[in-house]
Amino acid sequence: MRVQLKSLGIFQTSKVVAAVYFLGAIVFTAIAAAFLILTHRQFQPAPQLLLLPIAGGALGFIYTMIFCWIYNVVAGWIGGIEMELSEGQD
């Protein structure tokens, strides 16, 4: 079955992407902190390092809102992304 993605829910899509960016930034922050500790550098939790997950989530939310709005406008003009779907196999 061929379907077309007519529009994206701006707020819902932005919430999901922001959560993914936030969690990804937590992982990145933990890796960066571990690297600083393991390389025996003087490690003091810098505000930038601690704010990375918050900034990642906030920017992911804002950028996704803009992207979804642009997608919805363009999809209204020329049509949405086409996908082919099939029933799942159990």
Nearest residue to 26 via CA among 47, 65, 6, 54: 54
Nearest residue to 44 via CA among 54, 33, 53, 29: 33
How far apart CA 35 and CA 30 sit, in angstroms, is 9
Residue 67 Cα to chain centre, angstroms: 11
Domain ranges of the chain: 2-84
Mean pLDDT of all residues belonging to the chain: 88
pLDDT digits (tens, 9 = 90+) for 36-58: 778 866 666 667 777 889 999 99
pTM: predicted TM-score of the whole model, two decimal places: 0.77
